[in-house]
Amino acid sequence: MKVGSKLLREVAFMADLTAANAGTYQFDDQFSINRLGYGTMQLTGSGVWGPYKDPNQAVSVIQHATELGINFFDTADSYGPWFADRYLAAGLKKASNRDNIFISDKVGQTRQGPGIWTPHGEPNYLRQQVGVSMMTLGIDHEDLLFLHRIDSHFPIADQVGELKKMQDEGKIKHIGLSQVSVDQIKEAQKYAKIDAVENLYNVADHKDDDVVDYAESQHMAFVPWFPLNTGKLAGADSPLSAIANKYQVSEAQIALAWLLKRSPNILPIPGTSSIQHLEDNVAAANVQLSDADFDQLSHLSK
Ligand SMILES: NC(=O)c1ccc[n+]([C@@H]2O[C@H](COP(=O)([O-])OP(=O)(O)OC[C@H]3O[C@@H](n4cnc5c(N)ncnc54)[C@H](OP(=O)(O)O)[C@@H]3O)[C@@H](O)[C@H]2O)c1
């Protein structure tokens, strides 16, 4: 009897545990995605360098994410490099809904070792990265391709222009920019339609509010990186503990619920290598913050 009711509770929990509860974001006629996504950067070695210590676990996390209704995955060849993309490709191979999965990828960074990132926006290099990434990921086009960083050594016109050329060739569906100001987005919009922005943004650090507002005004997706502030919002010392207690949910769920409420264009991509944390994050889709609590949390960043 006890086992039966436990099983029933688990079944009810799993039925409620879906990224679909976060609502959807419409990229275009073909792609409507669940707003709560997943970022692959944790599936690497220390300093985002080298393989993840347990490659099978990395593939299982991706696979389980698809089972939980996640159909938006953020990745980059620079994660590993290439290791995260390989795990992503392997995990998605087993997904029953592969045709409905949307990947955002990034180009424009080189890696020289753990923790070292060097922007490189030479158009030929951006083109090479797109070609190699499509092979690694096993895809024939990029759903969304971010310029990871604008490289000051090359004109924006040349970097965004090369992405536009690849879009015209059918290699890229949507173009995005990462870690940019509103002025930089406006400059890039002269050379291509910009459909998404990916900047550092979370409840404890939202100095890019103007970028979120501009993205919403332009029907651009805003993908906040470090949505959990690299885990600092989710750990024992989290500034969100009191409010998490009030809602009887985890701190990570409060951080994600705040992002989901901030703008309908925000698509959080929490990163994790843990199945338990993955499920915890997806459950954030069920958390509805009151307006008063949302406003109170918004002051954390000031
Ligand atoms: N465009 C850019 O320049 C840029 C830069 C950085 C990142 N990104 C993207 O943004 C994504 C998210 O960033 P991120 O992964 O670095 O940081 P994050 O999502 O803010 O935090 C990840 C950290 O939080 C922990 N965590 C995750 N869920 C948790 C939970 N429910 N409870 C407790 N701890 C939890 C993870 O550890 P465990 O593995 O133990 O769960 C990990 O240490 C990346 O994966 C990447 O796709 C983009």
CATH number at residue 168: 3.20.20.100
CB half-sphere exposure, 261, CA atoms < 13 A: 20
Rg (CA), the chain: 19
Ligand 1, pocket-test mutation among 60, 230, 240, 276, most atoms within 8 A of CB: 230
231 lines ligand 1 (CB under 6 A): yes
Q: Which residues of 152-171 are buried (b: 16+ CB within 10 A; e: fewer)?
A: eebebeebbbbbbebbeeeb
Cα separation, 28 vs 9, whole angstroms: 38
38 touches ligand 1 (CB under 6 Å): no
Q: In this structure, which residue's CA is closest to atom 7 in ligand 1?
A: 225
Q: Is residue 276 part of a domain?
A: no
- Between the CA of 227 and the centroid of ligand 1 the distance, in Å, is 7
**Using CA atoms, how far apart are residues 174 and 76, in angstroms rounded to an integer?**
15
Please say whether the dihedral angle defined by the alpha carbons of residues 76, 78, 82 and 87, taken in this order, is positive or negative: negative
**Distance from the alpha carbon of residue 12 to the mean position of ligand 1, in angstroms:** 28
Q: How far apart are CA 199 and CA 222, in angstroms?
A: 8
Q: Is residue 245 part of a domain?
A: no
Q: Which residues pair with 200 in a beta bridge?
A: 225
**Residue 161: inside a domain:** yes
Q: Is 227 in the pocket of ligand 1 (CB under 6 A)?
A: yes
Of the candidates 79, 87, 201, 214, the residue annotated as catalytic is: 79
Distance CA 302, CA 286 (A): 27
Which residue, by CA, sits nearest to atom 25 of ligand 1? 231
Which residues pair with residue 196 across a beta bridge? 176, 221
Ligand 1 touching residue 272 (CB < 6 A): yes
Tens-digit pLDDT profile for the chain (302 aa)?
344 555 555 555 666 899 999 999 999 888 999 999 999 999 999 999 999 999 999 999 999 999 999 999 999 999 999 999 999 999 999 888 898 999 999 999 999 999 999 999 999 999 999 999 999 999 999 999 999 999 999 999 999 999 999 999 999 999 999 999 999 999 999 999 999 999 999 999 999 999 999 999 999 999 999 999 999 999 889 999 999 999 999 999 999 999 999 999 999 999 999 999 999 999 999 999 999 999 999 999 86
For residue 208, is it within any domain?
yes
Question: What CA–CA distances, in Å, run from 247 to 70, 253, 257?
Answer: 24, 10, 11
User: Does any domain span residue 180?
Assistant: yes
| Dihedral of alpha carbons 161, 153, 48, 25, sign | negative
| pLDDT at position 2 | 46
Q: Whose CA is nearest to atom 27 of ligand 1?
A: 272
Cβ(44)–Cβ(50) under 8 Å?
A: yes
Q: Within a domain: residue 79? A: yes
Quick check: CB of 144 below 6 Å from ligand 1? no
According to the model, what pLDDT value does residue 1 have? 39
- pLDDT for 14 equals 65
> How many structural domains are present in the chain?
1
Q: What is the pLDDT of residue 106?
A: 98
Full domain range(s) for residue 134: 33-225
Active site (annotated) includes residue 38: no
Q: Ligand 1 in contact with 225 (CB < 6 A)? A: yes
DSSP 250: -
